[in-house]
Chain A
Amino acid sequence: MSLSRRNFVIATTVAAAGSTLLSACSSGNAGGGNGTPNAGATEYTGAKVTVGSKADSTGPAPEIPGAKKGGTIYGIAPDDFSHLDPQRIYFAYNSTVALLLHRSLTGYKIDSSGKQKLVGDLATDTGTASNGNKTWTFTLKDGLKWEDGSELTVDDVRHGFERAWAPFITEGATYAQAALTGKGGKWRDAYPGPYGGKHLDSIVTDKAKKTITFNLAEPKPDFNFTVAMHSYAAVPVKLDTKEKYDKQPVACGPYKIKAHTTDKSMVLVRNKYWDPATDSIRNAYPDGFEFDFGVETLAGTDRLIADQGNDQYAVSIYKGVPAERIQKVLTDPQLKKRSFNGLLTGSYYYWINTKRVTDLKVRQALIHAWPLQQIRQIYGGPSAGDFATSILSPDIIGYEKYDLYGKLTKPQGDPDKAKALLKEAGKEGMKIVYAFPQDPTYLKTKVVIENALKAAGFTPIIKPVDSTSYYDQIQQINNSFDVMWGGWSPDWPTAFTMIQPLFDGGAIGNGQNNVSQTNISWINDAIKKNAVISDQQEAGKAWAALDKRIMQEVAPIIPETFQRRFYLFGSKVGGAQFDPNFSATLLYKTFVKA
């Protein structure tokens, strides 16, 4: 999800109970494979996401050494999943359970080191593009079934796309709808939805051949990444209960819902009709999962530290260890052994409002002045993440590390350089309005930011903003802020999903995501050009070059950190590892230790 809106709300809820700093960017299928598995490591060691072959897409998933079937894994979390209807799933934490219940045409196969491959999930491979990337065809695997034993067909896959038009579906991703209709944001006008008996003209299914073909209005070379999102998971036409589906969805993944008391608990049991031979992604060792909701992050962490009773078999579903307990976890070898960590899918930035701060030199001075080290110290020090210097995050295909403003050598800020630039611009003492969400963590970071701005010759004006409406306020184009804290998480690991929404001139507007209001013709043109490059590795190079040029010639953001989270698990849990897409525990790889 853009700008971590929903998860931000969660973070503030938890903060009310005195726990965490900012939370993960939430998103659909985002990010790539750099969940550095070494506790405490702060350098990227993972590789970029690759696209897998047909063989990679063929089940079963590779066995995990030492794993065995059986038992129950317990999960704890502060909040219940807000949606179970796949078309209403966009936020990362909902996807942690969706991975156990739902399946999309493609998905990410993650190895024990966190490296990822895009593979066919329901489809036999990652799809075939033709017609200049405007036509995409996928073939379904054999043996796919719903939890009632009925066959999962191409019509069910199509239904998962068409349901997005239902009036009660407003939360999901909209990429495919726009691409299938060519109407951009007006995609709803193009089709009345599946419940009147009509189908989208742009999706063609062949039941006999088990193929589904998407005829897109514009070239989309990374459409096979788009369809990995849970917003596009299959839903059985015959078992669709419309609004009620959100409470009781029908599973085609390895587990199904046996019981669910909203906001309190959920019990998952095996879906006996799921055939591991059809699934190259999921292991599914436990016989079931039992989730306990309403456990605040600090209390949940303390339960996992205490490691008593059923908590020995427990994992934190999606919440990392809060700042209060990080040192304990890092310094106690026994606890450190029961933890894993990874970088969040998104990046954290400070947007510079280019409509208000019009001088490039001033924007560059702001970047030089920014006290990254002091900010990270407040987040918890080096274990809290790595300094960011680019727009793209390390997970993105094509990411290249650079340091245009010497932020890695002087992370504490370079007030002299900033002052010199301000002098050149003739803007010494310039007022800078800094906005941030009112939250205990950012109330601390604003102090070091204010000091750094003063040291660099700016006159800072500090504006705390109500945290629940923060994004609504900074996304107003006539806002009165110069620099704004924020985060961005991509929906899949190609650079288009980061650069287009944030820097395309067409994405400026109230409620839109181009918060810096950057509207420069060479950027807009490059986005159009890069978006249609077929080879994703080639495209990656072009995007990385654009990333660097934007930061050099426009400097519309101050990159802050790629944040790291640590997660604890009980002493009898095996296979616990970081989910690099959804910043959570990868539940389907866990097992109960003998």
Chain B
Amino acid sequence: MPPRLLTPYGIRQENPTAMFRFLVRRTLGAAVIMLIISALVFVLFYAAPRDPARIACGKVCTPETLALVRKNLGIADPLPVQYWEWLKGLFVGREYTSFGHCPAPCLGYSFQNREPVLSTILDRFPTTISLAIGSSVVFLIFGIGTGMLAAVKQGKTLDKVASSASLIASSMQIYVVGIFATYLLVDQLHLLDRANYTPFTEDPAKWAAGLLVPWLVLSLIFTANYTRMTRSQMVETLSEDYVRTARAKGLSRRTVFFRFAWRGAMGPIVTIFGLDLGTLLGGAIITESTFSLQGLGLLSVKAVSTNDLPMLLGVVLVAAAAIVVFNIIVDSVYALIDPRVRLA
């Protein structure tokens, strides 16, 4: 009986602590992954033929001044010592001669602007979250909606239009569409506000107005992907035996479509969405650059171009954490939706 498959009691019946054990195991795994990522970033950063100390060393950069800069930046020690100090800072905080105490979790101070990395990231994160959540709402509604319509009207004009439009939209580039949309909707027609970020807590209306153009542009590409994915999943599910059985038993087309087929098709979409959202929370680099939105994406680009190791590490860790966490969430949700997937 398909409706029963959608409730999670199968899991509870099987093993009440499975979810807890699953979460503990995955969290530990995630911690190891983060550790490996941070060590890799450290090694790769120093493997590149560039010296972050040179930026803060004057025009005539004598070896003495360079050594002083290295000391000031905390990069005079051997690599393993630096990494250990950084790691320790995460758990017990760090003392800086020039800035004082940096409480745990201390991600260090930026080489570039000498601000605490954590507070900079926390300052930028709301912009990235707003961008990710807002565009997700738009592309989920439009993407899944259009995909379902196309599936229902399979082979008909609507399906063809939706499929072609999504193909065109998915081949667009944000930096082209973004500039064009700003030119048309903001500069020429004055329909929408220029992209800018106002905190939601300050003024929700301004928050939405300032982010509408980036949401629409970012969603355009994602909507297309979700339309195509939803359509193909729905078409596939609609041809499943249990759907035919449900129809044969006399359930209405609408009931079958929304109660059985739709849910059945959602599994892979939830998986992809979880990963997409995780990636978006790590910073939408091109979107943020195109619209000059000060989120994590733009921060990471600047960190790379200015050899800012502490900032780079911070942003990479947040991005990695977002992807790892959403992977765990996806796996958990997937198991809830589809008991054929076990948490073992």
Contact, CB under 8 Å: B194 / A186: no
- Please indicate the chain B residues that have their CB under 8 angstroms from the CB of A130 in the complex: none
- Please indicate the chain A residues that have their CB under 8 angstroms from the CB of B307 in the complex: 468
Contact, CB under 8 Å: A296 / B64: no
Given A82-B113, A167-B68, A294-B294, is A303 in contact with B60 using a C-beta cutoff of 8 Å? no
Contact, CB under 8 Å: A90 / B54: no
Contact, CB under 8 Å: B60 / A168: no
- Please indicate the chain A residues that have their CB under 8 angstroms from the CB of B289 in the complex: 16-17, 296
Contact, CB under 8 Å: B48 / A171: no
- Contact check: which of A13, A185, A302 meets B183 at CB < 8 Å? A302
Contact, CB under 8 Å: B305 / A173: no
Interface string of A287-300 (1 = CB under 8 A from B): 00000001110111
Given A82-B112, A185-B62, A469-B51, is A306 in contact with B186 using a C-beta cutoff of 8 Å? yes
A209 to B286, CA, bound (A): 60
- Please indicate the chain A residues that have their CB under 8 angstroms from the CB of B186 in the complex: 306, 308
Contact, CB under 8 Å: B59 / A469: no
Contact, CB under 8 Å: A469 / B64: no
Interface string of B40-83 (1 = CB under 8 A from A): 00000000111100111111111111101101100000000000
| B142-156 with Cβ < 8 A to chain A | none
| B270-297 with Cβ < 8 A to chain A | 289-292, 294
Contact, CB under 8 Å: A172 / B51: no
Contact, CB under 8 Å: B72 / A6: no
Interface string of B89-117 (1 = CB under 8 A from A): 00000000011000000000000111100
A172 to B65, CA, bound (A): 11
Contact, CB under 8 Å: B187 / A170: no
Q: Does A174 touch B at the CB level, under 8 Å?
A: yes
- Contact check: which of B59, B113, B175 meets A173 at CB < 8 Å? B59
Q: Considering the complex, give the chain B residue whose CB is closest to the CB of A17.
A: B289
Contact, CB under 8 Å: A173 / B49: no
Q: Does B255 touch A at the CB level, under 8 Å?
A: no
Contact, CB under 8 Å: A466 / B48: yes
Contact, CB under 8 Å: A295 / B113: no
Given A262-B113, A296-B289, is A168 in contact with B72 using a C-beta cutoff of 8 Å? yes
- Contact check: which of B51, B114, B298 meets A472 at CB < 8 Å? B51
A26 to B13, CA, bound (A): 70
Contact, CB under 8 Å: A80 / B113: yes
Interface string of B16-54 (1 = CB under 8 A from A): 000000000000000000000000000000001111001
Q: Does A206 touch B at the CB level, under 8 Å?
A: no
Contact, CB under 8 Å: B294 / A170: no
Q: Considering the complex, give the chain A residue whose CB is closest to the CB of B98.
A: A243
Interface string of A159-196 (1 = CB under 8 A from B): 00000000110111110000000000110100000000
- Please indicate the chain A residues that have their CB under 8 angstroms from the CB of B60 in the complex: 2, 174, 185, 501, 512-513
- Contact check: which of A9, A168, A174, A300 meets B59 at CB < 8 Å? A174
| A463-505 with Cβ < 8 A to chain B | 466, 468-469, 471-473, 491, 501
Q: Does A426 touch B at the CB level, under 8 Å?
A: no
- Please indicate the chain A residues that have their CB under 8 angstroms from the CB of B123 in the complex: 261, 264
Contact, CB under 8 Å: A5 / B305: no
Q: Considering the complex, give the chain B residue whose CB is closest to the CB of A19.
A: B289
Contact, CB under 8 Å: B194 / A263: no
CB distance from B229 to the nearest CB of A (A): 30
Contact, CB under 8 Å: B48 / A294: no
A237 to B312, CA, bound (A): 36
Contact, CB under 8 Å: A170 / B72: yes
A17 to B290, CA, bound (A): 7
- Contact check: which of B55, B72, B187, B190 meets A9 at CB < 8 Å? B55
Interface string of B226-267 (1 = CB under 8 A from A): 000000000000000000000000000000000000000000
- Please indicate the chain B residues that have their CB under 8 angstroms from the CB of A295 in the complex: 292
| B285-319 with Cβ < 8 A to chain A | 289-292, 294, 298, 301-302, 305-307
A512 to B99, CA, bound (A): 31
- Please indicate the chain B residues that have their CB under 8 angstroms from the CB of A174 in the complex: 58-60
Q: Does B120 touch A at the CB level, under 8 Å?
A: yes
CB distance from B320 to the nearest CB of A (A): 21
Q: Does B135 touch A at the CB level, under 8 Å?
A: no
Q: Does A359 touch B at the CB level, under 8 Å?
A: no
- Please indicate the chain A residues that have their CB under 8 angstroms from the CB of B72 in the complex: 167-168, 170
Q: Does A511 touch B at the CB level, under 8 Å?
A: yes
Q: Considering the complex, give the chain A residue whose CB is closest to the CB of B61.
A: A511
- Please indicate the chain B residues that have their CB under 8 angstroms from the CB of A302 in the complex: 179, 182-183, 187
Contact, CB under 8 Å: B64 / A186: yes
A300 to B62, CA, bound (A): 37
A9 to B60, CA, bound (A): 18
Contact, CB under 8 Å: B294 / A18: no
- Please indicate the chain A residues that have their CB under 8 angstroms from the CB of B306 in the complex: 9, 13
A5 to B51, CA, bound (A): 12
Q: Considering the complex, give the chain A residue whose CB is closest to the CB of B178.
A: A299
A262 to B194, CA, bound (A): 22
- Please indicate the chain B residues that have their CB under 8 angstroms from the CB of A172 in the complex: 58
| B132-186 with Cβ < 8 A to chain A | 175, 179, 182-183, 186
Interface string of A500-530 (1 = CB under 8 A from B): 0100000000011100000000000000000
Interface string of B323-344 (1 = CB under 8 A from A): 0000000000000000000000
- Please indicate the chain B residues that have their CB under 8 angstroms from the CB of A5 in the complex: 54-55
Contact, CB under 8 Å: A308 / B56: no
Given A13-B305, A469-B50, is A188 in contact with B113 using a C-beta cutoff of 8 Å? no
Q: Does A585 touch B at the CB level, under 8 Å?
A: no
Contact, CB under 8 Å: A262 / B182: no
- Please indicate the chain B residues that have their CB under 8 angstroms from the CB of A16 in the complex: 289, 301, 305
CB distance from B192 to the nearest CB of A (A): 12
Q: Does A12 touch B at the CB level, under 8 Å?
A: yes
- Please indicate the chain B residues that have their CB under 8 angstroms from the CB of A512 in the complex: 60
A561 to B331, CA, bound (A): 59
CB distance from B179 to the nearest CB of A (A): 7
Q: Considering the complex, give the chain B residue whose CB is closest to the CB of A172.
A: B58
A9 to B304, CA, bound (A): 10
A340 to B57, CA, bound (A): 33
- Contact check: which of A90, A168, A300, A472 meets B50 at CB < 8 Å? A472
A173 to B65, CA, bound (A): 12
Contact, CB under 8 Å: B292 / A299: yes
A554 to B162, CA, bound (A): 69
Q: Does A1 touch B at the CB level, under 8 Å?
A: yes
CB distance from B97 to the nearest CB of A (A): 9
Q: Does A246 touch B at the CB level, under 8 Å?
A: yes
CB distance from A251 to the nearest CB of B (A): 20
A79 to B51, CA, bound (A): 21
- Please indicate the chain A residues that have their CB under 8 angstroms from the CB of B183 in the complex: 302
- Please indicate the chain B residues that have their CB under 8 angstroms from the CB of A511 in the complex: 54, 61-63, 66
CB distance from B273 to the nearest CB of A (A): 28
Contact, CB under 8 Å: A13 / B301: yes
Contact, CB under 8 Å: B194 / A294: no
- Please indicate the chain A residues that have their CB under 8 angstroms from the CB of B99 in the complex: 243
- Please indicate the chain B residues that have their CB under 8 angstroms from the CB of A13 in the complex: 301-302, 305-306
- Contact check: which of B63, B69, B112 meets A170 at CB < 8 Å? B69
Residue pairs across A and B with Cβ atoms less than 8 A apart, 27 shown, are: A5-B54, A5-B55, A9-B306, A16-B289, A17-B175, A17-B289, A82-B112, A170-B58, A171-B57, A185-B64, A243-B114, A261-B123, A262-B113, A263-B120, A296-B289, A298-B179, A299-B290, A299-B292, A305-B187, A306-B186, A308-B186, A308-B194, A468-B305, A468-B307, A472-B50, A473-B49, A513-B60
A-B contacts besides A185-B64, A299-B290, 17 pairs, CB < 8 Å = A5-B54, A9-B306, A12-B305, A18-B175, A80-B113, A170-B56, A170-B57, A174-B58, A188-B65, A294-B292, A294-B298, A295-B292, A298-B179, A299-B291, A466-B50, A468-B50, A473-B49
Q: Which residues of A pack against B, CB within 8 Å?
A: 1-2, 5-6, 9, 12-13, 16-18, 79-80, 82, 90, 167-168, 170-174, 185-186, 188, 243, 246-247, 261-264, 294-296, 298-300, 302-303, 305-306, 308, 466, 468-469, 471-473, 491, 501, 511-513
Q: Top 7 nearest A-B pairs by Cβ distance?
A: A469-B50, A13-B305, A306-B187, A17-B289, A243-B98, A2-B59, A185-B62
